[in-house]
Amino acid sequence: MKQLFNLFDLRQKVDYKIEVLSGTTVALALVPEAIAFAMIAGFSPLTGLYAAFVMGLVTAVFGGRPGMISGATGAIAVIFVGLILELKNTFPDITQETILQYVFATVILGGIFQILFGLFRLGKFIRLVPHPVMFGFVNGLAIIIFMAQFPNFYQKGTNNLLEGSAFLLMLGLVLVTMFIIWGLPKLTKVVPSSLVAILVVSAIVIGFGIDTMTVADTLNEGETIKGGFPPLSNFTIPFTTETFLLILPYAAIVAGVGLIESLLTLNLIDEITETRGRSNRECVAQGTANIFSGLLSGMGGCAMIGQSLINTSAGARARLSGIVAAIMLLVFIMFGSSLIEKLPMAALVGLMFMVAIGTFEWASLKTFKKMPTSDVVVMVLVTLITAITHNLAIAVVVGVILAALAYAWENAKRIRARKYVDENGVKHYEIFGPLFFGSTKAFSEKFDILEDPKVVIIDFKESRIADMSAIEAVNVITHRYAKQGKEVHLRHLSKDCINLLKNAEAIIDVNIMEDPTYKVVIDNSPL
């Protein structure tokens, strides 16, 4: 029973009204997003809506971050574009139904990878993402959310902007929505301002019969969001090694992109709510949700930062809001499609504009003159890659690599050596700073092998040997001294450094010598 209480967070104090109203608002915001992302890959709207329902429900119940919303996302949809092209090249006569079966199988395999990632407790590696990369990720995502709303200002099926009164009407309704979302919390927080904004603008449009774009106008001719409970996928594709190898790389990308986006969103919500989520549990939940999504005719997905921010900004903090959002979405699909299709896109566009504004880290702009240049470059580059490619995983990976290289470069310059000869004629080299692959060259240049006396002590009290390159650098120095008939003693090596050297004995021969005067290696007495 205790585990059941912990699972559903039943001991947490829950404001049921806020949770239900916030979840309903999120469900409304999920509809156009799910439809749009499904269309990116050429799927029917229901494929995206079913994914949003399944992903949202499973992660809301079992996920590691209460209040976080998952669903069908553009980052995942883009991956399937490549898979579909490869399928059409491999099987020229393939049908749309068969393509969907390969997609569902890919989603299931990607979910299995995500579960394994969580079970092996690898979610902690999200800590390796530096803060500048987080800033860049969030800012790039805000730009994507903002730019994604612009097609709603075009005439349907064209690249032409709405003209005259149609454009002014659309813009005016968007501004009214944004004003309500901004202004209502200053008067009262009894109900989510985003839900009030959608209802007010929808009432104005429907009540006065205003001719403006609705959710129905975003659908292709003959399509609808009306459907039943997600049906089981019917797999007729061959379960062979060839099929496995075909979908394997795409499944790995689905798993990787989904986890990166979900765990970064989890960290962001942690900061906003000043609480702590469980990354490994979220990995397992995301994987489980993707497996069920593939089995129930959904295109898979991951955490959605926009909808998660809508939820948390409304005050939702428990699992109930995510559960309500998923269930309400299914209700819309099964019973309320005719009403949802009448919602004005202006209300949803205004909502997403406010999400984009709230998502952007405006404080990051003030850090340009305060942060190191390398951090600013990483932040701007991640923002640009995210905004241009819409591939959050690539942007984050590039950012982490650049940040790591910048860190290595800065630390490579920190290696120093203090030199002196004691009363016994022994030359001392006191090393400061980390010895690793980036600093080995500077380390080797510190020694004057030909002019040094017969006995040399290299003291690592203020340094440490970090990797194989460092061991090799020490090995080279000791052998260069040995060629000149001189003795080298390594002093004050830490336990982990000693272990590294012992592990490397089969590969190299580092000259570590015991000395009764200096007690080489284990001496911790002052010099």
How does DSSP assign 431-451, residue by residue?
Answer: EEEEESTTTHHHHHTT--TTT
pLDDT at residue 503 is higher than 80: no
How does pLDDT run across 69-112, given as a tens digit for each residue?
A: 999 987 788 788 889 989 999 999 999 999 999 999 999 999 99
pLDDT at residue 7 is higher than 50: no
Q: Max Cα separation, the chain?
A: 99
Predicted confidence at residue 12, as pLDDT, reads 60
What is the Cα–Cα distance from 101 to 510, expressed in whole angstroms? Answer: 58
Do the Cβ atoms of 72 and 333 come closer than 8 Å? no
Q: 308 is written with which tokens? A: 């998660």
What is the Cα–Cα distance from 336 to 2, expressed in whole angstroms? Answer: 38
Give the SS3 label for residue 490. strand
pLDDT at residue 53 is higher than 70: yes
Range in 197-201, 391-395, 512-516 with the lowest mean pLDDT: 512-516
pTM for the full predicted model? 0.74
Across the chain, what does the average pLDDT equal? 86
484: which DSSP letter? T
Give the SS3 label for residue 328. helix
What residues have CB less than 8 Å from 181, skipping those under 6 apart?
Answer: 193, 194, 197, 350, 351, 354
Query: What confidence category does residue 42 fall into, taking pLDDT thresholds of 50, 70 and 90?
Result: confident
Residue the block writes with tokens 């120093």? 416
pLDDT at residue 459 is higher than 60: yes
How does pLDDT run across 353-407, given as a tens digit for each residue?
A: 887 888 788 888 887 878 888 889 999 999 998 888 776 678 888 898 999 898 8
Predicted confidence at residue 512, as pLDDT, reads 53
What is the Cα–Cα distance from 467 to 188, expressed in whole angstroms? Answer: 58
Range in 81-90, 142-151, 169-178, 239-248 with the lowest mean pLDDT: 142-151
What residues have CB less than 8 Å from 46, skipping those under 6 apart?
Answer: 38, 225, 227, 297, 333
CATH number for the domain formed by residue range(s) 416-503? 3.30.750.24
Predicted confidence at residue 21, as pLDDT, reads 92
Specify the domain boundaries for CATH 3.30.750.24 within the chain: 416-503
Do the Cβ atoms of 360 and 135 come closer than 8 Å? no
Alpha carbon separation from 385 to 379, 393, 405 (Å, rounded): 10, 10, 18
Of residues 474, 465, 467, the one with CA closest to residue 509: 474
When mean pLDDT is compared over 120-129, 144-153, 289-298, 493-502, the highest value belongs to 289-298
Query: What confidence category does residue 518 fall into, taking pLDDT thresholds of 50, 70 and 90?
Result: very low
pLDDT at residue 162 is higher than 90: no
Q: 396 is written with which tokens? A: 């984050």
CA-only gyration radius of the chain, Å? 29
Q: Which amino acid is at 74?
A: G
Share of the chain above pLDDT 70, in %: 92
Share of the chain above pLDDT 90, in %: 43
237: which DSSP letter? S
Predicted confidence at residue 351, as pLDDT, reads 84
What is the Cα–Cα distance from 79 to 394, expressed in whole angstroms? Answer: 12
When mean pLDDT is compared over 125-139, 261-275, 484-498, the highest value belongs to 261-275
Query: What confidence category does residue 524 fall into, taking pLDDT thresholds of 50, 70 and 90?
Result: very low
- 296 vs 509, higher pLDDT: 296
Predicted confidence at residue 2, as pLDDT, reads 47
What is the Cα–Cα distance from 384 to 144, expressed in whole angstroms? Answer: 10
Predicted confidence at residue 3, as pLDDT, reads 43
